Structures are given as C-alpha cells and as structure tokens.
A and B are shown apart, each in its own frame.
Chain A
Amino acid sequence: DTAVSQTPKYLVTQMGNDKSIKCEQNLGHDTMYWYKQDSKKFLKIMFSYNNKELIINETVPNRFSPKSPDKAHLNLHINSLELGDSAVYFCASSLRGASTDTQYFGPGTRLTVL
C-alpha cells in the first residue's frame, strides 16, 4: 500500500546512455514532481506536472524529460547521461488546492553514472 513508489531504487549506468525512472502514486493526487538531491543533500525541484500544465525549472537540461501516461504516473527520462547527473532523484505528489497540500515523497532512486 505504498503511497508513492519509484523504480528502480538503484541505477548504475555508463555515460552517454539513456535511462528512465518510473514513479507511481496511489493517493489520487493531481500533481506530481521530480526533485534532484545532490551529494551535498541539496534538494532542487526539476519538474512540476499535472494534467494541465508542465512547469520546468529553467536550470534543468533538456536531456531530462518527464513523461506522464496518466495521472498516477510521472516517469523521468534522461538522455545522454553525464557524470554530473549522479544524484538521488525523488518523485513526489500532492493534491493542489487541498487544505494542507503536503507533498509526499517516494523512496528515491540513486543514479550513478560511470
């Protein structure tokens, strides 16, 4: 009965490869997010998405693209991976407009680019 799940938990890959991380939420939320946490534990928003609009942090390279097959899923696709992409990626979801609008985070995917 996991609220926000991500797969895989760990991802090790070579530079230049293309990879995807999957995220699913079963909370009935309408908005999903991707965050990047670097080696210093700094957390930064990458994307915010609901079925109406995608908001992209302008600092995110266009090698990163979110793909949402439906409201419960927001996958992250990364092209031409670089060493600097190594980080932990967290998916989150919320119900915008709700009284608390808390974001619930997935367990994270640790990406290592060699």
Chain B
Amino acid sequence: ELKVEQNPLFLSMQEGKNYTIYCNYSTTSDRLYWYRQDPGKSLESLFVLLSNGAVKQEGRLMASLDTKARLSTLHITAAVHDLSATYFCAVDVGADGLTFGKGTHLIIQP
C-alpha cells in the first residue's frame, strides 16, 4: 500500500522567515502534486512535478522532486500571512487516483 508522509503536520512561523515542508512516499512514482486548501474551500493545484530533479517556483513557493529518494519539498521563502493554509502533497501511481499526505497546516503570524 502506498504511503505518503508529510512533515511537519503543523507549522507556525513568523512573516519573513523561510521554511520547508517535506513529503516522503513509499513507492515509485514520477508524478507528485502539491495542493493548497484554505479553510472551508476546495483544493487548489500549486505544482505538478513530473520527473526526477524537477523544480518549480511560483512566487514565494518552490517545489522540488527527488524520485530516487522518494522525496519532495515545498520551500517557503520570506513567508507572508496570505500563505497561511493547509498544504497537501499527493502521489499518482496510475488510474487509482491520488494518494494524499495528511497535510501541513501552516500558520504565518505577523
């Protein structure tokens, strides 16, 4: 059974700081996704990482994928309050749909 583990599950940080969320998964996959969810809202796609060494950046967020280590990271640079949300990584192993991590609840305080 595929397992996807995120850490930390809860993160409180100050504006202006940098931090990294980690996502480990237990089986071979070349597709990894990061989603954002605001309270009471749906999931918004942030990044799709399709190959080993893939790196994508959007604003203050940067995601990377190491398929050999089965590890993805989501790095936050100079955090701002608007980035407060729950972040999920998810792994795609075929037609079975996505397997999600438990999510990282991120609070950014002024």
A binds B: yes
Given contacts A41-B86, A102-B33, A107 and B98 within 8 Å (CB-CB): no
- The segment out of A19-27, A43-51, A61-69, A72-80 that lies at the interface is A43-51
Report the contact-size class of chain A (Cβ under 8 Å from the partner).
20 to 34
- Quick check: A101 and B48 within 8 Å, CB to CB? yes
B45 CB–A CB distance under 8 Å: yes
Q: Which of chain A's residues 56-104 have a Cβ closer than 8 Å to chain B?
A: 57, 90, 92, 96, 99-104
Shortest B46–chain A CB gap in Å is 10
Measured as residues with beta carbon below 8 angstroms from the partner, the interface class of chain B is: 20 to 34
Chain B, residues 92-105, CB within 8 Å of chain A (1/0): the string is 10011111101101
B50 interface contact, C-beta 8 A: yes
Nearest-CB residue, chain B, relative to A46: B97
Contact call B96/A104, Cβ cutoff below 8 A: no
Find out whether the CB atom of B95 lies under 8 angstroms from the CB atom of A55. Answer: yes
Is the beta-carbon distance between B97 and A35 smaller than 8 angstroms?
yes
Could you say which residues of chain B place their CB within 8 Å of the CB of A45?
96-99
User: Which residues of B sit under 8 angstroms from A43, Cβ to Cβ?
Assistant: 43, 88, 90, 100, 103
A44, B100: Cβ atoms under 8 Å?
A: yes
> In the complex the two chains form, is B43's CB within 8 Å of A105's CB?
yes
Chain B nearest CB from A38 CB (Å) reads 11
B70 contacts chain A at the CB level, 8 A cutoff: no
Q: Is B75 an interface residue when CB atoms closer than 8 A count as contact?
A: no
Q: How many Å from the CB of B94 to the closest CB on chain A? A: 9
13 contacts between A and B (CB under 8 A): A31-B95, A41-B37, A41-B105, A43-B103, A45-B96, A53-B95, A57-B96, A90-B43, A102-B48, A105-B44, A106-B42, A108-B41, A108-B42
Q: B: which residues have CB within 8 A of A?
A: 31, 33, 35, 37, 41-45, 48, 50, 86, 88, 90, 92, 95-100, 102-103, 105
